[in-house]
Amino acid sequence: MPQHLLLFLRPAADALRRVLKERTGMDIALSPKGAKGSITLAVDTALHGAEHYRVEVSKKGLTITGATPAAVFRGVMTLNQLLLADPHEAERGRIPAVKIDDAPRFALRALMIDPARNFLPVKDVKRFIEVMAKYKYNALQLHLTDDQGWRIALKSYPQLASPQSYSAADIREIVAYAAEHYIDVIPELDIPGHTAAFLSVYPELGCTHLRNAPIKVGETVNRMLCAANDTVYTVYNQILREVAALFPSPYIHLGGDEAAVPTNWEQCPRCRAMMEQKGYKRASQLMIPFFERILSSVRATGKKPIMWCELNNIYPPADDYLFPYPQDVTLVSWRGGLTPTCLSLTAQSGHKLIMAPGEHAYLDYPQMHHDLPEYNNWGMPITTLEQAYRFDPGYGRTAEAQAHVWGVMGTLWAEAMPDINRVTYMAYPRALALAEAGWTQMEHRDWADFTQRLYPNLDELMRLGISFRVPFELSGK
Ligand code: TNX
């Protein structure tokens, strides 16, 4: 095996070693020239698709091949699943004879965590990464800024950082750890709403009429960045440059959700003047020039923008229905009830779409009646494990009408999650259902079968000390 390939296969080889040690007690030695051994990992360029892999176990040995090193790593995770399914055999060093040829239905399978609302230390984020990697997730979105906190310490604007935040070294540590699991870490800086933490430091960058209205970090005060203040764009240009340099991800998420336009831009003399000058009828139309400038800063960094798809909040469904997202913005469908519309609109417009519908993928919603969160529930609907599982990210549409769906994302908004235990309690086992929705073709999905395959995995989560919700099979009533 060429030396450079081995280097790239190192994370998969390390993972294989851990899996075999943990499940079978075997301690295998790694060798770059192990082509003759009974255990082989290799990149096979005859395979296509970034995560296409094969696992073959026979009398001759174990071979895991993949189109890329990431694919080989996913194959190792599948081996882990096989061994988990029959721990007694595995303990005896016996691996079932199989021939698996597998590739994901969707290229993106993401979870989003929210250290902005409740900070999560680096070690907890790393642990979270470890678990999600076992289920072949390949992206972690970090919601880094919100009303409750600004969680990234920047050189350019150090004052912004909340007392608990990630340093550049922390970010590098998270990113490197994620990379070993072939997980892309996507930063999110939420603008122009959800910016109370920012505006508590720079109140002069909010709308003119609110400058003297006090802001308390930790309260959702629905303040927005002023659309008609040049300094906002200069500051964010610098922030985006620094964030872009810290994260190797090709993407930056800019939020764009839940902006309180009527109490901010609509009342602000400067924003009103800008509306007039542009000939706009509604203050929400200022989103167009606002994001035009922000997006040009993002493009200058070489990154691709992602935004929450807002259909009824920023852009009210009036007769002059607006769908003004520039073509290079990847959208995330999230708001309950709006996903079918969002799916259709983006199919027409050709925008790339991530599916995170509130109906299935909002892992911050309670899993049962009277379950957590018992406080701070603004009316979140119950989302059972079964409801999470019954998610077809293509919403049953024709192949053509879902061709623009890039993948799935589960959100763990953390207003009611004070620590990582609560985060995993909300995430699991539903994130297992979502992982399957993202990976597996509909014809291979089966709820009853899933619940059976679930047990060894729950057993494993328990053994690892990861909290999760049981019982999970009840209807939720
Ligand atoms: C809406 S989902 C939000 C978040 C909240 C979440 C609570 C989205 C784009 N914005 O700021 O945390 O609801 O479920």
What region does 256 belong to: left with phi over 0, alpha with psi -120 to 50, or beta?
A: left
Given this model, what pLDDT does residue 34 score?
54
Given this model, what pLDDT does residue 22 score?
94
195 lines ligand 1 (CB under 6 A): no
Gap from CA of 413 to ligand 1 centroid (Å): 6
310 lines ligand 1 (CB under 6 A): no
Strand order in the sheet with 53-58: 39-43, 61-66, 53-58, 98-102
Given this model, what pLDDT does residue 374 score?
64
DSSP E strand stretches across 357-414: 405-412
Which residue of the set 22, 56, 173, 258 is catalytic?
Answer: 258
364 lines ligand 1 (CB under 6 A): yes
Residue 340: phi and psi, rounded to 5, are -55, -40
Gap from CA of 461 to ligand 1 centroid (Å): 27
Give just the sign of the alpha carbon dihedral 369, 370, 374, 377.
positive
Distance CA 241, CA 189 (A): 12
Over residues 306-334, mean pLDDT: 75
CB of 137 closer than 8 Å to CB of 181: no
Q: What is the DSSP letter of 332?
A: E
**pLDDT digits 0-9 by tens, 203-258:** 999 999 998 888 877 777 789 999 999 999 999 999 999 999 999 999 999 999 99
Q: Which atom of ligand 1 sits closest to the CA of residue 415? A: 12
pLDDT higher than 70, residue 473: no
190 lines ligand 1 (CB under 6 A): no
Residue found under tokens 């057993």: 459
147 lines ligand 1 (CB under 6 A): no
Given this model, what pLDDT does residue 386 score?
95
**pLDDT digits 0-9 by tens, 177-186:** 999 999 999 9
Contacts by residues 456-462 (CB-CB < 8 Å, ≥ 24 positions apart): 456/84, 456/85, 456/87, 457/81, 457/84, 457/429, 457/432, 458/429, 460/84, 461/131, 461/424, 461/428, 461/429
Name the residue with the closest Cα to ligand 1, atom 7: 413
184 lines ligand 1 (CB under 6 A): no
Given this model, what pLDDT does residue 100 score?
98
**Whole-structure pTM over 0.85, yes or no?**
yes
- DSSP result, 361-375: HBTTS-SSTTPSP-S
Gap from CA of 9 to ligand 1 centroid (Å): 38
417 lines ligand 1 (CB under 6 A): no
Distance CA 149, CA 132 (A): 25
Name the residue with the closest Cα to ligand 1, atom 8: 257
Residue type, 135: Y
Gap from CA of 257 to ligand 1 centroid (Å): 8
Given this model, what pLDDT does residue 434 score?
98
**pLDDT digits 0-9 by tens, 118-167:** 999 999 999 999 999 999 999 999 999 999 999 999 999 999 999 999 99
Distance CA 415, CA 270 (A): 33
Give just the sign of the alpha carbon dihedral 201, 207, 211, 214.
negative
Which residue of the set 194, 253, 351, 360 is catalytic?
Answer: 194
Share of the chain above pLDDT 90, in %: 81
Cis peptide bond N-terminal to 373, omega within 30: yes
Going by C-beta distance under 8 Å and a sequence separation of 6 or more, which residues neighbour residue 331?
306, 307, 308, 309, 325, 342, 346, 351, 352, 353, 354
**pLDDT digits 0-9 by tens, 59-97:** 999 999 999 999 999 999 999 999 999 999 999 989 989
Give just the sign of the alpha carbon dihedral 309, 312, 317, 321.
negative
Distance CA 182, CA 133 (A): 8
Please provide the average confidence, as pLDDT, over all residues in the chain. Answer: 92
Name the residue with the closest Cα to ligand 1, atom 2: 334
| Tokens of residue 456, six digits | 């060894």
Percent helix, percent strand, percent coil in the chain, to nearest 5: 40, 15, 45
Q: What are the b/e assignments for 134-168, b being 16+ CB within 10 Å? A: bbbbbbbbbbbbbbbbbbbbbeebeebbbeebbee
Residue 354 β-bridge partners: 332, 407
Given this model, what pLDDT does residue 37 score?
64
Distance CA 98, CA 117 (A): 45
Q: Which atom of ligand 1 sits closest to the CA of residue 117? A: 12
Distance CA 446, CA 410 (A): 20
* 194 in active site: yes
For ligand 1, mutation pick of 306, 313, 411 (most atoms within 8 Å of CB):
411
* 146 in active site: yes
* 181 in active site: no
Gap from CA of 414 to ligand 1 centroid (Å): 9
